[in-house]
Each structure stands twice: as structure tokens, then as C-alpha cells.
Amino acid sequence: MKSAIFVAASLSTLMLLTACATAPEIVVDTIAVDPDFPPSLVELNFESHGDRLNGHAYLAEGEGPHPTVVLLHGFPGNERNLDLAQDLRSDGFNVLFFHYRGAWGSEGTYSFTHVIEDVASATDYLRANAETYRTDPDKLILIGHSMGGFAALEAAARDERVACVAGIAPADLGAIANAFDADPARAEGFSAYAGTMQMLSGLTGENAIAEILANREAFDTRLLASELVGKSVLVIGGDKDTSVPPDTIIAPLVAAYEAEPGIDLTADILSGDHSFSWSRQELIDAVLEWADGCR
């Protein structure tokens, strides 16, 4: 009987020791955040020309109001630069990310003209809801990658209240239109590529080419220089970028803006491909340094 009691007690002790050995360590959160206005992620949608666009906002800590970045993705938008969004929020900026009409589940049909219009709808939405999102309506910053860089520059040229705009490997659809004229095979390749974009509703290779050719001057970001006077402009290229090559796209754009003395231009070429795959931190650091002057 004593032996049975001893065995039972030993088993109970062993089970207790095993439980203690495998129990997860209790970690106390030692990071202090504003209890009333902590950093957060808010899902949202807003209207652009009758269609609902899907998006979300990274809200910075503190009551604010905060300078707010509208972060614009490219074509079709596989690289979304959300690591940049997180670091911008940590640095005190709100960030709005959204999908254009007809892109990735947003309502409507996709076109390059719609993209530019949708950026204006996004800034209108932020200004109308500044209190809700603790946003400073007078400090909205446009930052776009690739086709989003094209859209950022086009939208900033149309909005006198936007004082800061950045193009990360920004596309120039005007230059692309000229390239199509010079090399029909390139136009055929782009048409075939655009035709595979099932995540872009209403887009075909044919209508994409037609829109670019019909708007070659309006879509030429080099010609926006006079409309960007008085603004802080950041242009970043990648030295190994074959989609937006530094010599044929970035250099002419920078030269056009340098020739306009009224633009506060910052330009740089970083080591990187089109998505800056091996230089993400260098890209983020460059954007944050520039954005600090836009507060």
C-alpha cells in the first residue's frame, strides 16, 4: 500500500515538474504606448466617382494631428511597400494605402486616368475625415512606386495643397508612349503583359496601349515641372532597374526638374532592382529622411 502511494506521489510530482518545464514563459509588455491613441491599423473604404475603393490606414501613436502619407502601389501592385508604411507610422506619419478602381477587388474599371483621379479622391477623403483619422489636412504627402510614382507626380501637379511628392522608380507613360512608337515589338509585349492582369478589372492590352498613346503629353511626367513649383519632390531610381531604367527614364525626369529652379528636388540612385529587393532599408531610410522635411 505504501509502495502504491509512493508511486502515485512520484507520478504527480513528475507531472507537475513536466508541466512547469513546458509552461510558456509569461512575457510582460514593457513598451509604453499612448493608452488613448495607440498606433493602430484601420480597415476602410471610400468612394471615387461612384465606386468603392478598398484600403486601410496605419495610424500613428498620439492624438495628432499627424502628417499623412498616401502610399500608391504600381502596376498591377504586387510590391506594395508596406514595410515602408510601417516605418513611416513609427516615425509619426499616418499612412493610407488603397487599391484603385478596378484593382484587387475595388469597384469600377481600371485605367491610368482613373488611377490619377482616385488619388485625388483619396486626398479628398482624408481631408473630409481629418478628425476621424487624426490627420493634418494641410500635410498630405504622396509617395508612389512605379506606376504609383507616375500617379503621385500627376496628382501632385493637380493639387496645390500637396506640398510633398515622391516617386520611387516612377514610371513615365509619356516616355513609354514614345518608346512604343520607336519599337512596335515593345508595344506588343506590353499589350500581351497587360492582357494577363486579371486582378485589374476592365483592362485589356489594347485599351491600355490606346490610352497611353492618346495621352502621351498629359502622361509625360517630365512636362509637369512647372506645375510642381514650390513643392518638395523626391525621385529615387534603382541602378539595376530594367522596368524603369535610370538612364532612359530617371535621368531625363531629374534633368527636367533640375531645370525648374522652383522645385525643391532630392534625387538619388540606389543599388536595386525595380522593387529594391536587396536594398529595402536603404530605400526606407532615404524616404524617411526626405519625409522629415515635410512635417
Phi, psi for 121 (deg, rounded to 5):
-65, -35
Instruction: Please report the pLDDT score of residue 287 as a whole number.
Output: 98
Helix and strand numbers (H, E) in the chain are: 9, 8
Q: Name the DSSP class of 24.
A: P
Residue 122 placed within a domain? yes
Per-10-residue mean pLDDT of the chain, 295 residues long, equals 45 49 66 94 98 98 98 96 98 98 98 98 98 97 98 98 98 96 93 94 96 97 98 98 97 98 98 98 98 97
Residue 201 placed within a domain? yes
Q: What is the pTM of this model?
A: 0.90
Q: Which amino acid is at 34?
A: D
Instruction: Please report the pLDDT score of residue 25 as a whole number.
Output: 74
d(CA 164, CA 141): 5
Residue 28 placed within a domain? no
Domain tally for the chain? Answer: 1
Q: How far is CA 27 from the centre of its chain?
A: 34
Helix or strand (DSSP H, E) at 238: strand 232-238
Residue 34 placed within a domain? no
The boundaries of the domain holding residue 274 are 40-294
Residue 214 placed within a domain? yes
Residue 64 placed within a domain? yes
- SS3 at position 15: helix
Residue 113 placed within a domain? yes
d(CA 52, CA 49): 9
Instruction: Please report the pLDDT score of residue 30 as a whole number.
Output: 75
Instruction: Please report the pLDDT score of residue 27 as a whole number.
Output: 67
CATH number at residue 84: 3.40.50.1820
Please check whether residue 212 is in contact with residue 181, taking contact to mean a CB–CB distance below 8 angstroms. no
Instruction: Please report the pLDDT score of residue 31 as a whole number.
Output: 84
Q: Which of 230, 269, 294, 242 is nearest to 69 (CA)?
A: 294
Bridge partners (DSSP) of residue 97 are 56, 71
Please check whether residue 67 is in contact with residue 89, taking contact to mean a CB–CB distance below 8 angstroms. no
Residue 14 placed within a domain? no
